[in-house]
Structure 1
Amino acid sequence: MAEVKHEKILFKYYSNVLDELTVETMWSEIIDKENGIYKLDNIPFYGPIIATDDEFYAEFDESEQMLTYRKTTKFSGNSIVLVIIVQSGFDKEIIRDRFKKLNCASEGLNDSYFSVEILKDINYSEIKKLLTEYEKDGILEYAEPCLSDKHQMDLKNN
């Protein structure tokens, strides 16, 4: 039998994007199951303060009946940006393709909403410039719920 390498973890948090208590389940790599350490292997949708490759502590929650996120233990330096297309009829795949060419993976939720992963080694000021252009053109709005220290420094240095 193959060894289980991932677990689905419950994240329960207040989302500033949705302005409400939010529940999201995400796949995570098992780092140290005995001590409850996992590494996020999903791109979050609604804005928890965690990014892909961050390590965190989770434990079984009796009321939820599943493993539940408790706290981040090691930050990867990656960031997550949430994007909503506000211009009616605009194909979000055009923007997702532009991000992909900049080595930023994304996950779409529906025709107008997606989240973008910005890896630590990417200069965030370039991504921010692109987002700002689209926002000025009335095509999208975006939120930066999980902007790493490294990416915040990218903005200060430009």
Structure 2
Amino acid sequence: MQDDNVKILFQFHSDIFDEEMVETMWATTVDRNKGLYKLDNIPFYAPLVASDDIIFAEFDEQQQMLTYRKTVEFSGNSTIQVVLMDKSKDINTIRKTFEELGCVSEKVNDGYFSMEIPALIDYKFIKQKLDDLEQNEIIGYAEPCLADQHRTTLQ
């Protein structure tokens, strides 16, 4: 396995912004000849993908870069998007709360971050904390990529 990093372009329709969007993410080459790459980033906006997913990407002549086509193997990680609603709260304190529960995140700005729920973490406790913060109007959140095992823990 080669371990060179490449940038992959993701093109998608955002229901939130109601427009076509693009996002680039870093990936590690798994098999260049087969177009397989392992996603290194937590997606900020792109839906239905999570870090460590194995994806198929190919060079797009129009975009002039490697472009995502499909997910080949899901990592089991989930991606949660969090928007700070109560501007009197510190977003880094909220991120730290989830970090203590085993979830890493990447901050976009002082009002938004994207968080990874690792495959082996019980999502039920994370979901309870998210719901509590949302009910108290501190945050709003979306689950653009919820892995099967995280979904089933909620049933």
Q: Deviations over 1:97-156 (max 9, x none)?
A: 011111100000000100000001000011000000100111000000100101001111
8 Å contact from structure 1 (residues 17, 46) kept in 2: no
Aligned length: 154
Contact 2:10-2:23 at 8 Å conserved across structures: yes
Q: TM-score with structure 2 length normalisation?
A: 0.96
Contact residue 98 and residue 104 of structure 2 kept, 8 A: yes
Match of 1:151 in 2: 150
Contact 1:14 1:48 in 2 (8 A): no
When normalised by structure 1's length, the TM-score is 0.94
Letter in 2 for 1:71: K
How large is the Cα RMSD of the aligned pairs? Answer: 1.1
Question: Does the aligned pair in 2 maintain the 1:18–1:46 contact within 8 Å?
Answer: no
Which amino acid in the other structure matches residue 130 of structure 2? L
**Partner deviation per Cα, 1:51-74 (whole Å, 9 max, x = no partner):** 001001000000000000000000
State how far apart, in whole Å, the 2-side matches of 1:44 and 1:19 are. Answer: 18
Matches within 5 A, 1:1-158: 5-156=4-155
Runs of 4+ in 1 over 3 A off after TM superposition: none
Task: Give ranges in structure 2 of 5+ residues lacking alignment.
Answer: none
- Sort the Cα spacing of 1:59 and 1:154 in 2 relative to 1 into closer, same or farther, 3 A: same
Q: How high is the sequence identity, in percent, across the aligned residues?
A: 50
Distance between the aligned counterparts of 1:55 and 1:43, measured in 2?
13
Using the TM superposition, give the Cα deviation of residue 86 of structure 1 relative to its aligned residue in structure 2, in angstroms.
0.8
